[in-house]
Structure 1
Amino acid sequence: MASDTTQPHPHPHPAPEPDPFSPFAYAPAPESRAIVDIAPSYGHFIDGEFREASDGRVFKTIAPASEEVLSEVAQASTEDVDAAVRAARKAFTGWAALPGSERAKYLFRIARIIQERSRELAVLETLDNGKPIRETRDADLPLVAAHFFYYAGWADKLPYAGYGADPRPLGVAGQVIPWNFPLMMLAWKIAPALATGNTVVLKPAETTPLSALFFADICRQAGLPKGVVNIITGDGSSGAALVEHEGVDKVAFTGSTAVGKMIARTVAGTRKKLTLELGGKGANIVFDDAPVDQAVEGIVNGIYFNQGQVCCAGSRLLVQESVQEEVLDALKRRLTTLRVGDPLDKNTDVGAINSAAQLARITELTEAGEAEGAERWSPSCELPTAGYWFAPTVFTNVTQAHRIAREEIFGPVLSVLSFRTPDEAVAKANNTPYGLSAGIWTEKGSRILQVAQQLRAGVVWSNTFNKFDPTSPFGGYQESGFGREGGRHGLEAYLDV
């Protein structure tokens, strides 16, 4: 019988050609949390030292991605607030009397230490806030250091800032900051205050106090005189006590419009100077001649950066009717590539929502959008079982009457509306009680200038979104607040002019 000499094919099932449009498969690339030491408990930083709450009350700060308790933090009473304000008042005379060049040295030291310890700070911010390490490392921390460097440069040039030949500091600044950019908001507040000769009492958000307490240690490392920077932690009652304190000369607040209105009523009729940076409902306007791929990247950055928990987020997308289908198709393809998950993984694009309360707010408003007839879409993604998570979401068939088009959601939720003419785009963009940000996407420079001049927004980006620089002022009007932070304009709020 003849033998069968046929040899098996070395590749009986050839591998299929890779799909060039499929997302890359990434292996996990976690940043080590071991590089930052988190103490089991923290007190207030008052007069250069950490101290326990006067009444012994504490609260827990939780990691949004895992719901684990990170640390216990002191809850500030009115006595603690008073002690911090008195320490700042005591330090003010000596700090204000220093030549600007000497104050600048401290600010430069702080900036350099932030750069040196940026890896620790990025991990700490990600753990406490829930945002991806890629954002804290590549966006937040460089901007934090840059703000201190920038205002260090202004400290000895105040007579040339345009606020008079001999501008004077106000005194004690009471500053209350939010949880979405804890360290960046700290830098926006503290750097100009110190450069102009003021002293500070700062209260970080209840859910994200750790990076501010880390900054307190940086102040000691930089040799900052005692009492120049004081940090108290606590809930809204602690912030209210700080705002109401008679020893505070200047109040700076970033947060919700509702709380900002309460603060304005509290400060009204007093000698206190006030700046407010509040909510927003920014419009991202895409014209028919816009580069679609570039615009899609800007749309994604505008609303899904930091899980949409950004006051200036481009949460309303206005697309010219003739290219709406093309833009939405490209946007949906792009959203399928976003990676949602562990914020400490360097590959993660969308991290955890900051708290259970914020997740409930986002959920309630998206359910209202569906109930009112808008069409909801999210890419297929598996959300972690522990922590606070919300998938990137797009709503179409949205009208201007829908709650999701009117109210600030503060989450990864995009509402899409269409327009036919530039005038209609401007009318829809301005149909909001807010006035913080907007974006314009077109290849025509003349159209950018024409539309930007008509938009009622404190900052208008052209063919980009969410770009910040310490030399450029930021702020809004209407229900987005008043006053400016950043740039030369940011000095005015801390000077007696």
Structure 2
Amino acid sequence: MLTAPLAGPLFDQWRASPDDTDVAVAYNPATGEPLAVHRNASPEEVAAAVEKATAAFRTWGRTTPAERAELLLTIANRLEAAGEDFARAESANVGKPLALAREEIAYDADVLRFMAGAARISHAAAAGEYLNGSTSMTRRDPLGVVGLITPWNYPLMEAMWKLAPALAAGNTVVLKPSELTPLSTILFAQLAQEVLPDGVLNLVLGDGTTGAALVEHPAVRLVSLTGDVSTGKKVAAAASATLKRVHLELGGKAPALVFADAPLETAAAELAATAFLNAGQDCTAPCRVIVEDAAHDSFVDAYLKAVADLRCGDPEDESSHFGPVISRRQLERVEGFVERARSAGASVLTGGHRVDRPGWFHEATVIADVQQDDEIVQREVFGPVVTIQRGGSDDEILTMANGVDYGLAASVWTNDVARGLRFTRDLAFGTVWLNQHMVLANEMPFGGFGQSGYGKELSAHAIDEYSQVKHVMLRAAG
């Protein structure tokens, strides 16, 4: 899949030597074979990266939005030009189909372009005399050094969601990708460092110990994490010691509510396709389908037919809809959820097993006859597993949908406009789709409620998330 080993100064800097003992291995999940071995950054190296970012901020923080935008646009153009290299690195390291990885790179370039434009727009109140004799105005200033910690399921896309608004707002950055999937991030950091002034973007590799050193550093003004709930709680607790700001995009258990008046075959096809995209390793995947009684049997038949058409296979094969899960550990986690659901009385309608081939593949799995308080309903599996529940009244379906700790995303499938609007109001999720699922626009904010975290990514609001607002008030002499 990778036509040649990835090379460059950052690959050389972080490549492990035989003498290194604190290392992480990046695997190809489609084969189970190692792609690269990187050493983990020590706390001293994290501190050095923060110090370098602090020094760079003295100049970068005073650049104009137009200057920052021009550099972000240059990076976007270079990313797009090198898109095939990035797509192959992402596909090899994450196990997602190459075609999907190519689409993501094009999208990542658009994130950079959008934030370049958003950097030049202010939503501040107009300057004016809000008290007699004094003129007030507001400033939107950068925070300083921000620490960004990204996950393994969408390594480059999640990096763009954080990095683009952070840089656009005038901050300098220390970026730590997941130790499982650093390849596309290293490649991007090399590209971006050729464009940005020295010290504006700094990369550290490592596991949770490296991340903790970044979170705890007193000079880091904000930490943005995408990860699981337990990690998010640790980050929030550690950040409280220095009262730094925290953004958390954590887990999800997205419900898809299907009513009898919806186009059932269309709903079934779209929900199946999105549920198993990236092997279900997506916090917004519609992994809980709740179907109105009157439509249940018809929908299940259509859904199982749609799932049967999905192919789990080699990421390089254009006919593969999804590939492996990220690691042997994740595969065992998925298997554990399925087996415990079986033991609790659930019915596995299709799938339910790992695929007998090299790598870490698991069948598309659909589970029925589950109870609302079952583990398989309440906890995030993060794999190719979907539950289907039967619901009665609108109130019962709403209660079931909201009856989890997560609040990231949901969808409603109905042709009843009044019902659709009522559910978009009452569903306690940061994003609610109507008659579609997993559709994002860079112009709109993204973020969750409850155990799914807090803070918004995407949209012009993201620039404000990485900024601080200062009130300036002056009185004219005399």
The question of a shared fold, defined as TM-score above 0.5 by the shorter chain, is answered with: yes
How far apart, in 2, do the equivalents of 1:399 and 1:114 lie?
Answer: 46
Give, as a single letter, the amino acid of the residue that structure 2 aligns with 1:156. R
Residue 170 in structure 1 maps to residue 148 in structure 2: no
Counterparts of 1:395 and 1:306 in 2: how far apart (Å)?
19
Alignment of 1:392-471 (within 5 A): 392-471=364-443
Alpha-carbon separation, structure 2, partners of 1:350 and 1:254: 22
Work out which of the residue numbers 68, 74, 79 in structure 1 matches 2:44: 79
Report if the CA contact (8 A) 1:53-1:77 is conserved.
Answer: no
Which residues of 2 match residues 45-194 of structure 1 at below 5 A?
50=13, 56=20, 57-138=22-103, 140-158=104-122, 160=124, 165-194=138-167
Query: 239, 244, 263: which one pairs with 1:267?
Result: 239
Give 1:62's aligned amino acid: Y
- The separation in 2 between residues aligned to 1:281 and 1:162, in whole angstroms, is 41
Match of 1:11 in 2: none
2:309 & 2:352 partners in 1: Cα distance? Answer: 10
Deviation at 1:334?
1.2
Q: Report which of the two has the higher share of strand.
A: 2
- Mapped partners of 1:478, 1:267: distance in 2: 19
Is this contact kept in 2: 1:96–1:169, CA < 8 A? yes
CA distance, structure 1, for counterparts of residue 70 and residue 192 of structure 2: 12
Asked whether the equivalents of residues 176 and 203 of structure 1 are also in contact (C-alpha less than 8 Å), the reply is yes
What residue identity is the alignment partner of 1:200?
V
> Which one-letter code corresponds to 1:67 in the other structure?
G
- Contact 2:335–2:353 (8 Å) recurs in 1: no
Contact between 2:151 and 2:178, CA under 8 Å: does it hold in 1?
Answer: yes
The CA distance in 2 between the partners of 1:117 and 1:165, in whole Å, is 40
**CA–CA distance in structure 2, aligned partners of residues 159 and 311 of structure 1:** 30
Counterpart Cα distance in 2 of 1:129 and 1:250 = 27
| Alpha-carbon distance in structure 1 between the residues aligned to 2:25 and 2:451 | 32
**1:15 aligns to what?**
none
Query: Given the superposition, is the C-alpha separation of residues 95 and 306 from structure 1 closer, same or farther in structure 2, using an over 3 Å criterion?
Result: same
Structure-1 residue corresponding to 2:181: 208
| SS of residue matched to 1:418 | strand
Q: Give the Å deviation of 1:183.
A: 0.4
Residues 202/372 of structure 1: CA separation in 2 closer, same or farther (3 Å cut): same
> Is residue 191 of structure 2 the alignment partner of residue 218 of structure 1?
yes
Tell me the distance in 2 between the aligned counterparts of 1:202 and 1:430.
34
Distance in 1 separating the partners of 2:352 and 2:34: 30
The number of equivalent residue pairs is 458
Indicate whether 1:38 and 2:3 are aligned.
Answer: no
Q: Which of 339, 347, 352 matches 2:311?
A: 339
How far apart are the structure 1 equivalents of 2:426 and 2:225? 28
| 1:159–1:166 contact (8 Å) kept in structure 2 | no
Counterpart-to-counterpart distance in 2, 1:161 and 1:439: 35
Larger Rg: 1
Corresponding residue for 1:480?
452
Residue 42 of structure 1: CA displacement? Answer: 5.5
- What corresponds to 2:277 in structure 1? 305
Residue deviations 1:81-113 (CA, integer Å, cap 9, x gap):
011111111111111111110111110011111
Matched-pair contact (CA < 8 Å) for 1:275–1:481: yes
TM-fit CA distance, 1:378:
2.1
- 2:472 matched residue in structure 1: none
* Distance across 1 between alignment mates of 2:32 and 2:455: 36
Question: 1:334/1:365 Cα in 2 relative to 1: closer, same or farther (>3 Å)?
Answer: same
Cα deviation per residue 1:14-44 (whole Å; 9 max; x = unaligned)? xxxxxxxxxxxxxxxxxx632x642499558
CA shift, 1:60, in A, is: 1.9
**Contact (CA 8 Å) 1:81, 1:242: kept in 2 or not?**
yes
Provide closer, same or farther for how the CA distance between residues 157 and 115 of structure 1 changes in structure 2, counting only shifts above 3 A: same
Q: SS at the partner of 1:158? A: coil
CA distance in 2, matches of 1:314, 1:274: 27
- Secondary structure of the 1:353 match is coil
**CA offsets per residue over residues 44-95 of structure 1, 9 Å max, x none?**
8xxxxx4678994433211000012111212111011011111111111111
TM-superposition CA deviations, 1:159-189 (whole Å, max 9, x none): 6599974200000000111000000000000
> 1:338-394, CA deviations, whole angstroms, 9 ceiling, x for partnerless residues?
111101112210101001111111111111100100001225999352110110000
- The equivalent residue for 2:327 is 355
Structure 2: tracts of 5 or more residues without a match: 128-136, 470-478
Contact 1:457/1:477 (CA < 8 Å) preserved in 2? yes
Whole-angstrom distance in 2 between the partners of 1:229 and 1:403 = 41
Residue identity opposite 2:300 in structure 1: L
Is the contact made by 2:258 and 2:292 (CA closer than 8 Å) also made in structure 1?
yes
- Check conservation: 1:273, 1:493, Cα contact below 8 A: no
In 1, distance between residues paired with 2:280 and 2:467? 34
On the 8 A contact 1:43/1:53 being kept in 2, the answer is no
Q: Residues 131 and 351 of structure 1 are in contact (CA less than 8 Å); yes or no, is this contact kept in structure 2?
A: yes
1:440 alignment partner, SS class: strand
Would you say the 8 A contact 1:42–1:73 is kept in 2? no
Judged with a 3 Å threshold, the aligned counterparts in structure 2 of structure 1 residues 382 and 235 are, in CA distance, closer, same or farther, namely: closer
Does the alignment pair 1:227 with 2:199?
yes
Structure 1 distance, partners of 2:270, 2:201, is 37
Tell me which amino acid in the other structure corresponds to 1:433.
D
Judging changes above 3 Å, is the alpha-carbon distance between structure 1 residues 230 and 179 closer, same or farther for their aligned structure 2 residues? same
Amino acid in the other structure paired with 2:176:
K
Distance in 2, matches of 1:75 and 1:166, equals: 39
Q: Identical aligned pairs, as a percentage?
A: 37
